[in-house]
A and B are shown apart, each in its own frame.
Chain A
Amino acid sequence: MRRWEIWVGLLGLGMLVFGSYYGLVLAPREQYMGDVQRIMYVHVPTAWNTLLCFTASFVGAVGWLWTRSWKWDHLIESTIITGLVTGSLLAVQGAIWAKPTWGVWWTWDPRLTSVAVMVLSFLGILALRSFVDDPIKRATWSATAAVLAWVNIPFVYLCVRWMASLHQTQSTPKTVDPAMVFPLRVNAFAVLFIVIFFVATGWRIARELRKRELAE
């Protein structure tokens, strides 16, 4: 089936509109954060899917190093670009939420610092890719670097439990009002579907570029 990802993306878009409407209008405001808490319904789905996206880069990296099949290198390229877009958005959303709640736009706590390291390290891999001319060397070097950069991802997720930080620890359905859990879940899948659309489209572009490059 050609271009199936467009339908996945449209499904994600529809769900994002519905989930955001629910989160902005129907869900209750939070006891202390008031309406500002509604940022959670885009911030947390963006966070989960950014970590997932860079984990897909890791899968692509292991796949390339193991099998030397180009499809994995296409996956590395498309997931890194997508993860950088959502990861940068994540930091901006977080800053916008932090200012009225914490009182600052940014602070070097373990979560924010490790997210900055994550975005910068994958940005570095993308830069590396663009100055290596040999496609095979490029794939192998960036796969190796992506495996190394991925090591930080579990730390990003778990550091708020391990260390003193300003960022709150993960919520569970027990710590979140049920009327807030529902739009959060809808938007989590909405952003997942949108990210699948991004990655699949980027994958096809990467395949086209490699096809031409290898034919030269």
Chain B
Amino acid sequence: MKSKLPAILVGGAVVGVLGFLTFGSLGDNLVYYWTPAKLQSAAAKATGAIVRLGGLVKPGTVVTDGTVTTFEVTDETGASVRVRAESIPPAMFREGIGVVVEGTLGVDGTFVSQRLMVKHDENYTAPAEGQAPAGSFEPGEE
């Protein structure tokens, strides 16, 4: 009969990790990110805790100063939160794009983040001009 120890170890690890995922990281944090409106209405809960804020980069608010980027994240309600991102933004970062920032809401209402993530939507479009080798296609919806 073959040894069952590896199987029991794998089984135990799987149960442990599944439990952690279900009750740990998901349990106390059921939403992946808060919108600016939600964050502001629950500011007391968000201040000092590590949370994620998601929304669109408000055009005209991006200021880069060395490795620090400040900008406003906005949502469809018009609410916006000032963000101070202390990491180098991914290449796709631009005005108007969706972002998710991980960090804490300071007492002054500025969200300080060490982790800035760029969200890509479901649209895949060829560039309007330039090196598009595939011949005839229509630009997708944007």
Contact = CB atoms under 8 A, between A and B. Distances in A.
Q: Do chains A and B touch in the complex (CB under 8 A)?
A: yes
Given A28-B133, A171-B124, A174-B141, A120 B17 contact: yes
B117 A103 contact: yes
Interface string A54-73: 00000000000000000000
A28 B132 contact: yes
A124 B119 contact: no
Given A108-B32, A176-B140, A168 B122 contact: yes
Given A31-B126, A177-B140, A179-B134, A168 B21 contact: no
A117 B127 contact: no
B30 to A, nearest CB: 9
A204 interface: no
A27 B124 CA distance: 12
- Bin the interface of chain A by size: 35 or more
A32 B90 CA distance: 12
Contacts of B141: 174-175
B17 to A, nearest CB: 6
Contact of A31 (B10, B26, B35, B127): B127
B140 A174 contact: yes
A57 to B, nearest CB: 16
Contacts of A102: 90, 117-120
Chain B interface bracket (under 10, 10 to 19, 20 to 34, 35 or more):
35 or more
A33 B117 contact: no
Interface in A80-117: 100-104, 107-110, 113, 116-117
A127 B13 CA distance: 10
Interface stretch (A11-19, A158-166, A193-201): A158-166
A164 B120 contact: no
B8 A131 contact: yes
Contacts of B22: 117
A29 interface: yes
Interface in A25-42: 25-33, 37, 40
Contacts of A128: 7, 11
B67 interface: no
B125 interface: yes
A176 to B, nearest CB: 5
The 8 closest A-B pairs by CB, nearest first: A103-B90, A28-B126, A124-B14, A179-B134, A127-B11, A179-B137, A28-B132, A130-B7
20 contacts: A25-B133, A31-B128, A32-B120, A103-B117, A108-B26, A113-B21, A113-B25, A117-B18, A117-B22, A121-B18, A127-B8, A127-B14, A164-B31, A164-B33, A166-B33, A171-B122, A172-B122, A176-B124, A177-B125, A179-B126
Given A120-B18, A166-B117, 8 more contacts: A25-B133, A27-B134, A33-B120, A127-B14, A130-B6, A175-B123, A177-B126, A178-B137
Interface of A: 25-33, 37, 40, 100-104, 107-110, 113, 116-117, 120-121, 123-124, 127-128, 130-131, 133, 163-166, 168-172, 174-180
Interface of B: 1, 4, 6-8, 10-11, 14-15, 17-18, 21-22, 25-26, 31-33, 35, 54, 89-92, 100, 115-128, 131-135, 137-142
